[in-house]
Structure 1
C-alpha cells in the first residue's frame, strides 16, 4: 500500500502524471538517420563533412535503429547546422537524411479553399497578418484535380508571434486552418478554450431563443384562454337574446313531413299488419290484393261507360228528330212500309 492510499488520497495515475509534466523542449535537437548502426568514427566523420562545430554540441545519442540525435547548446546552432547540411546536399554531396525536431519552418494546411481563389490572394492575406510565405503548394487527387487543400510554409517564430485561428475568412470565403502546435478555436465564436458544442455564446443565443419561444407560446395560450373565458362570460341580455333566437329557429311541430306516396301506400295497406308466416301464403295474399284492385277499377269504370252510352243515345235521338222535321214525307213512307203486326189471339197462341 502506497503512502497516498494510506492517507486516503487516490493514487496518481500515469495519465494524470503525464499531464502535469511540462513537455520536453527539443528545439535544439537535430536527428540524423544512418543506414546501419554507426560507430563513433563514422559519426565524427559526418560532423566534419557537415561543417558542424563540435564545441556547439552538448550530446550525441545513438539508437539501435541507426538514428543519431545531436543536441546543440542553443537553437541557433541547431538551425545553422541544418542550413549547412542542406547546402552540402544541394552541392551534390551524399549525406544521410536529417531533420530538426522542431523545424524552423511550419507546414500550415488550408482546407475548404475555393477553386477560384488565386495564390496571390492567399499570400496577400497571410503575409499581411501572419508572416512571409516561403512555399505554397496545392494538393491534388489521383486524377490531378485540386481537392481544396493548400499547403503553405511559414516561419515558426512568426507563428509564435502571430498565431493563426482555426477559421479565417479570405474574400468572404471561410477557410479551415490546421498546423502542428496550433491552439484550436471554436467553430462558432472562433475563440480559444472551448469547442463548438461547449460554446457559451452559442448556448446563450440558443437558450435565449428557447426562452423567447416558450414565452411566445405561453402568451398565445394565455390569449386563447382569455378569449374562451370572455365567450363563456356573456351578459344576461346576450343570453336572453340567444335563447330567443334559438326558440324562434326551432320548429313548432317536430313530426316529420308526410310524403304523398307514403300516404297512398298507407291507405292501400290493410289496417292490421300481421307477420308473414309462410312464403306461399304471402304470394296468395298478393294475388288476392291484385284481384281486389282490378275489381275496384272495374266498378269505378262501369258508371263512366254507362254514362258514355247514354250520351251517345241522346245524340242519336236528337239527330233522328231533326231529320224527321226536315223531311215529313220520308216519315210517312217509312211508316207505310213498316209491317203491321196485330195481336188477335191469346198470348198462348203466340207462343205456338
Structure 2
C-alpha cells in the first residue's frame, strides 16, 4: 500500500507539472470541449443563402418566395437577372440553390395546367444541398396542398375530405440514430467522446512509457518488491480519477450547458463513462507491452483511438458494414460507449437494452490487460523498451 501511495503521489505531481502530460490531460480536453460545443451550437445549419429568379412577378409567385424565405433553413439572398448569373452564384459557392419561377406561372396555375418550378443546387456539398432540397420540397408541397384543397372546396367538398383525398396515406418518420435531426446532439456526442478517448489513451501511454524510455521501470518494480499490480495501480489510478472528473465535466457541457436531451439513466451514462476510461487505459497498457519504443506505443495508441470513429457507426451504420468489420468494431471501447450514450440520452431506451454495451466494456477492461500482463512484467523488470520482447 505504501508503494502504491508513493507512486501515485509521484504521478499526480507529474500530471500537473510535466509539460506534455499537462497538455494531454488538462489543456487539450477543455479546449476540445469549447471547440466542439461551439462548432455546432445551432444544431443545424440556418439561413443558407439561395437565389430566386421570379419571371412571373405575381401574387402567387411572391407568396412562394416569401414562404421560402420564411423557412429557418433558407434565406433569399440574391435576385439574379438571368439563369446564367444564378448558376454562377452556385458554382462560386455564394448561393446554395437557385429557384426559378417561370413566366405565366399564375395564369397557367389558375387555368388548371400543370406548372413547374425549377430548383438547382450543388449536390457536391452534401449538407447544405440536402437541407436546401428538403426545405424547397416542404414549401412547394405545402403550397400544392393548399391549392388542391381550395379547388376541391370550391366544388363543394369539405375541407377535411379534401385533405384526406390529397394525402390518403400519412407518413410517420422515425430517425433511429439522430432522432432529433440535430447535428450538434449527434455529432458532438461522438466527437467529444472520441477526442476524450484520445487524450485518455495518450496520457496513459505517456505515464508508463516515459519511465521505460528513460530506463526507470526496474526502479519502480523494486519499490513494489517485484509486484506489478501495485506499480500499475499507482501509475494508472491517478489518471483514471482525473479523467473521470474531466469526463463528468464533458457530460455537464453536453447535457447542461448545451442542453442535450437526456431521456435515459444518468447513472448508466456515468457508469459507462468509468468503464470506457478503464477499457481505454487497458488498451493503452497493451500497446505499451507490444511496442518496441515509446514513440511506437504513442503511434499505435493514437491510431487505434482515431480509427475507432470509423467503426462506431457514426458515419456508416455497423449493420451495413461487411461482417468482418462488424466483428472488428466490437473490440473498440468507443463503439460501445457511443452506442450507450445515444441509447441513454437521445433515444431514451430502457436500461436493459444497454446491458450488452456494459458487458462488453467490462470485458474490454480486463482482456487487453490480461494479454499484456506478462510482457509488462518483463518490460519493467528490464526497465526499458526492449526489441526482443
Instruction: Provide TM-score, normalisation by structure 1.
Output: 0.16
- Name which one, 1 or 2, has greater alpha-carbon Rg: 1
**Structure (1 or 2) with the greater helix fraction:** 2
Larger relative CO (CA 8 A, sep 6+): 1 or 2? 2
**Structure (1 or 2) with the greater strand fraction:** 1
